[in-house]
Structure 1
Amino acid sequence: DMERVLGPDHPATLATRTNLAGSRGQAGDVAGAAAAFAELLTDMERVLGPDHPDTLAARHNVASARREAGDVAGAAAAFEELLADRSRLLGPDHPDTLATRSHVAFFRGDAGDVAGAAATFAELLTDMERVLGPDHPETLATRANLAGWRGQAGDTAGAAAAFAELLTDMERVLGPDHPATLAARAHLASFRGQAGDVADAYAALEELLADRLKVLGPDHPSILTTRRNLARWRGEAGDAAGAAGAYERLLTDLLRVLGPGHPYTVAAREELAYWREASRR
């Protein structure tokens, strides 16, 4: 209707198309979202010009959608290009430039350069604290990324300590029910488990699942992820049969909610096979 009344090139029409493309991605149609964002970008470049902030934001959406659709290398290259253009057009300290640096750092880690990702996030954190302040949500998110990649690089105890410290600040600034606070609790539990405290990790995740269920519905991706982590730590704690049973129940829900081709479903199927095999030993 908006397209009919205002015309296809009206800013409000373009904004609505952006929201619709985002909704497609959230509903699980990652390929459809990627195609819709790419089409929208072409129109934005034509209507608004390549240097308009909304066009740059559309490029960000295209790159993110490509990553969700599985094209990690293409998304990484797109974010590198976007970073160069945002730095040139907006300056190095603009919040959008800093956000793009965060994505570039994340892709470094994703591509296997875990130490490089940690170092890049450490540099970014210094700039975030200077530009946005220590309590800004993006600064807190950067601390979470730094702690996460530190853990991936092998310092699981250091990562657990960093997440424990971060959690105190997140609960104060964002509140205990904020998705980022709940995510930090999940990471803290995971790194504690990896550092050897398996029973503590399992207990923390059980508590987290109960709290997340109060805030989110049972089919929310965060709930499904927490259940997956719980199943894993149950197995790591020595209950392979219990882990297999938990993965079976989880897989049923993943197939219903996300479908058979979603990366979470594929991973859970592999993990179920592993714990079934382990329970027979």
Structure 2
Amino acid sequence: MACVSGLVASLAGAGKFKEAEVLGRQALCDAERLGQHHRCTIQALTSLAALMQASGDGQEAEQLLRRALACSEAALTRAHPGTLNILSGLASQLALAGKQVEAEPLLWEAVERKETVLGPAHPDTLHAVSSLAAHLMATGRRPAVEPLLRRALEGSEQELGPEHPVTLAMQNNLAVMLQRMNKQGQAEPLLRKAAAGSQQVFGEAHPTTLRACGNLATLLREEGKHGEAEQLLRRAIDSSAAGACAVGIHLDLQAELTELRNLLTMSPDKQRSVNLQAVPMPFLVGFGRLGCCDCSRRPGQPVDCGERPPPLSHGITIDSTSPLGGSPRTSAAPSPVATLRELDGLRKPSMVL
């Protein structure tokens, strides 16, 4: 099953979605012979859901995730790390589909349960925190977002280190949120650290590095630092053309450079009126989790299908360290959920573990 899932991911990464879908559906059929609640069936469901999401069929991805969640819950209990990963994936898919009312209690549940089972600074917990933060941002509760992501970043730096892929993604996502709250001065050093760290860890041509550089360029041009922004974009475009970069990222960078050139032809007053936004980095590079729930993507921007190497980008996979999910881990890091409980006016559905 692991080999088949890897092949499906490779085909999808090459843009061969039809071939990947045929193989993925056949793998699910074969796995179902072992039983509806068998771990291979659950793996096949989540892999096919990731494929459907990457190819733009969010409706079927949602149906597959609902089924996978029910099977995993029956086989492993609701609180099992593998079940919680699927729960996070379903919550993020619901949010992407605009079903915020249904998504929110699941996002809260994923954070609380992962915090209890895995610890506040575990990568899976931080992924859930990032998705919840994006949802809160998209639904207008901005005061809650900054302390939530700052605590999560602090825990990631302490537990995983400043150059860990999770920490780099947290730096980027906090910076994006700060930029959207017009705190560019606080966002810039974080984006610089994320871009420099991504380049050192992944290399110049890696999609994660290119996205981080694109976000930094967006911020720089917003601050009027057009020369540095253009230089950064040109270097990123050259790297994306030379490497095996996703077409979507290359086109995004080209569009950013075109917008910058257009901006330079405007008057200073007109330049200041242009609304620019960076994009949250797909979360947990190399962990195969569902990407950060970006409920406020640019209008018309599709779900990126090539932000990360296999497993499928924005897909849900089962952690390879155990049959169905990550191992519990204790941590002394502060609780992200406790941070939110301290904020006035923010309420959430109650949950019993």
Q: Is the 8 A contact 1:124 1:142 kept in 2?
A: yes
Q: What corresponds to 1:117 in structure 2?
A: 145
Matched, 1:24 2:58: no
Instruction: Point out the structure with max Rg over C-alpha.
Output: 1
- Taking every aligned residue pair, what percent have the same amino acid on both sides? 26
Q: Is the 8 A contact 2:36 2:71 kept in 1?
A: no
Q: Is the 8 A contact 1:176 1:182 kept in 2?
A: yes
Matched, 1:176 2:210: no
TM-score (norm 2): 0.62
Residues 147-202 of structure 1: per-residue CA shift (max 9 Å, x gap):
22222221324423332233222222232222221111001100001001235434
Residues 98-125 of structure 1: per-residue CA shift (max 9 Å, x gap):
3212222222222233453222211111
Matches within 5 A, 1:1-281: 1-3=29-31, 5-216=33-244, 220-238=247-265, 266=300
Q: Is the 8 A contact 1:177 1:215 kept in 2?
A: yes
Relative distance call for 1:196 and 1:93 in structure 2 (3 A) is closer
Measured after TM superposition, the shift of residue 234 of structure 1 is 3.0
Q: What corresponds to 1:275 in structure 2?
A: none
Query: Distance in 1 between the 2:83 and 2:201 partners?
Result: 32
SS in 2 for 1:107: helix
Query: Distance in 1 between the 2:121 and 2:298 partners?
Result: 36
Query: Distance in 2 between the 1:213 and 1:141 partners?
Result: 23
Measured after TM superposition, the shift of residue 83 of structure 1 is 1.2
> What is the root-mean-square deviation in Å for CA atoms of aligned residues?
2.6
Q: Is the 8 A contact 1:198 1:236 kept in 2?
A: no
Query: Distance in 1 between the 2:167 and 2:262 partners?
Result: 35
Query: Distance in 2 between the 1:221 and 1:67 partners?
Result: 22
- Alignment-mate amino acid for residue 62 of structure 1: L
Q: Give the number of aligned pairs.
A: 245
Relative distance call for 1:265 and 1:119 in structure 2 (3 A) is closer
Measured after TM superposition, the shift of residue 265 of structure 1 is 6.7
Relative distance call for 1:216 and 1:115 in structure 2 (3 A) is farther
- Alignment-mate amino acid for residue 3 of structure 1: A
